[in-house]
């Protein structure tokens, strides 16, 4: 029964996404909601200018619809806590809204900066605080376990939640620079935590993870090279926040660093580049960051870079699964 529920969640979301994307693409083209390519980026990306964006909207709609269908078909045998599902989807939807506003300002209002960083951080802080309050209200504990050690973080757990949500959201966002890269990496990571939920019989995280995973698979059909649509910040911020929420609710917080290892590397490459640039007064550690652009500029094709990063992402996830089996 448990595996049947997971199969239903993935399949329905996949089908819904495959139906929605072909409808969304011409609408976005008609509205001229096309991607703007930054001038300092690789010149090979200029041809992508005008490709429809904000495709991440489909992640939210297909996932929520999938759970609605699940309720209709499995109402008699329903064993999911819908308060937990609400908690899980809250940051997913909220960060998607932040991303949508950012995309809208850039694509429609032609404001290249989008949301001001300070405003974005404040909004993310508010979402994290609300998430933490809901988390406590539902009776989840504030402990963090690592191997045989368990520490109660108490109120500081809210700070940890903030860093997990914004760190992962922005890590996925930084990885969204090549066709299919962020989507594929997010699919690998979310599939891993869905596996953990399946093993733990955590039905809410499993159902939600399956729904979002299915929606990403459907999206990748149109997002792999050459991409017909991009997810935009609308999708990347949402996927990152959802991934962090899965780790938090499964009480596998520390494992987020390993499963999301590629996102960590992408983020560190930017931090190292900026720090090195400032300290050496103009020198660069990499040709361009995030680091996937560095590999492009040394002559590796876009599709091979994406494949390489997929492999690394799978290795990280395999190691995480192996550690839970030992």
The predicted-structure confidence for 17-28, as pLDDT tens digits, reads as follows: 999 999 999 998
pLDDT digits (tens, 9 = 90+) for 285-314: 999 999 999 999 999 999 999 999 999 999
* Angle (deg, nearest 10), helices 156-175 and 82-107: 50
Place of tokens 């300092």: 40
Of residues 242 and 107, the one with the higher pLDDT is: 242
Q: How many CB atoms lie within 10 A of CB 313?
A: 25
Extended beta strands in 53-174, E state: 143-146, 149-152
Mean pLDDT computed over 213-230: 96
pLDDT-derived band of residue 38, with 50, 70 and 90 as boundaries?
low
* φ, ψ for residue 145, nearest 5 deg: -110, 135
pLDDT of residue 137: 92
> Quick one: tokens of 42?
């690789």
Mean pLDDT of 38-66: 79
For tokens 């963090």, name the residue: 144
- Provide the Cα torsion 237, 64, 94, 247; round to 10°: -60
Give the tokens for residue 124. Answer: 């993310």
User: What gap in Å lies between CA 220 and CA 14, rounded to an integer?
Assistant: 10
CA max distance for the chain: 66
Q: How far apart are CA 285 and CA 295, in angstroms?
A: 13
Look at residue 39 and tell me whether its pLDDT is greater than 60.
no
80 pLDDT higher than 90: no
What are the φ/ψ torsions at residue 114 (nearest 5 degrees)?
A: 65, -145
Burial class (CB in 10 A: 0-12, 13-18, 19+), 299: exposed
Cα separation, 273 vs 257, in Å, equals: 20
Calpha distance 35→56 (Å, rounded) = 13
Q: Taking a C-beta distance cutoff of 8 angstroms, is the pair 219, 55 a contact?
A: yes
- What local confidence, expressed as pLDDT, does residue 13 receive? 97
Nearest to 56 by CA among 216, 205, 224: 216
Confirm if 46 and 58 have CB atoms less than 8 A apart.
no
Share of residues in the chain with pLDDT > 70 (%) = 92
The pLDDT score that the predictor gives to residue 119 is 93
**Rounded-to-integer distance, Cα 178 and Cα 224, Å:** 9
For residues 145-166, average pLDDT? 89
pLDDT of residue 96: 97
- Range of weakest confidence among 51-55, 107-111, 194-198, 200-204: 107-111
Q: Which of 245, 212, 206 is nearest to 5 (CA)?
A: 206
């Amino acid at each position: 029964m448990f595996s049947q529920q997971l199969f239903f969640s993935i399949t329905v979301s996949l089908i819904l996404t495959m139906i929605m994307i072909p409808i969304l693409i011409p609408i976005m083209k008609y509205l001229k909601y096309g991607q703007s390519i930054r001038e300092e980026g690789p010149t090979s990306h200029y041809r992508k200018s005008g490709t429809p964006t904000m495709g991440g909207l489909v992640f939210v709609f297909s996932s929520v619809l999938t759970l609605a269908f699940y309720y209709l078909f499995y109402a008699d045998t329903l064993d999911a806590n819908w308060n937990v599902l609400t908690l899980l989807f809250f940051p997913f939807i909220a960060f998607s809204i932040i991303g949508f506003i950012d995309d809208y300002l850039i694509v429609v209002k032609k404001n290249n900066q989008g949301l001001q960083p300070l405003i974005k951080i404040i909004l993310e802080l508010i979402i994290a605080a609300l998430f933490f309050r809901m988390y406590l209200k539902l009776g989840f504990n504030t402990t963090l376990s690592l191997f045989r050690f368990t520490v109660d973080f108490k109120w500081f757990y809210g700070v940890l939640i903030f860093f997990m949500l914004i760190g992962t959201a922005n890590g996925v966002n930084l990885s969204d620079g090549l066709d299919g890269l962020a989507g594929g990496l997010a699919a690998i990571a979310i599939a891993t935590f869905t596996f953990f939920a399946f093993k733990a019989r955590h039905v809410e995280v499993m159902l939600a993870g399956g729904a979002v995973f299915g929606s990403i698979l459907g999206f990748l059909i149109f997002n792999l090279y050459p991409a017909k649509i991009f997810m935009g910040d609308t999708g990347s911020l949402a996927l990152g926040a959802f991934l962090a929420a899965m780790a938090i609710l499964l009480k596998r917080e520390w494992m987020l660093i390993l499963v999301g290892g590629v996102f960590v590397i992408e983020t560190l490459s930017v931090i190292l580049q900026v720090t090195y640039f400032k300290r050496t007064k103009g020198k660069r550690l990499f040709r361009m960051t995030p680091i996937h652009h560095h590999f492009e500029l040394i002559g590796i094709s876009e599709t091979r870079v994406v494949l390489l990063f997929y492999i690394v992402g799978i290795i990280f996830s395999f190691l995480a699964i192996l550690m839970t089996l030992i």
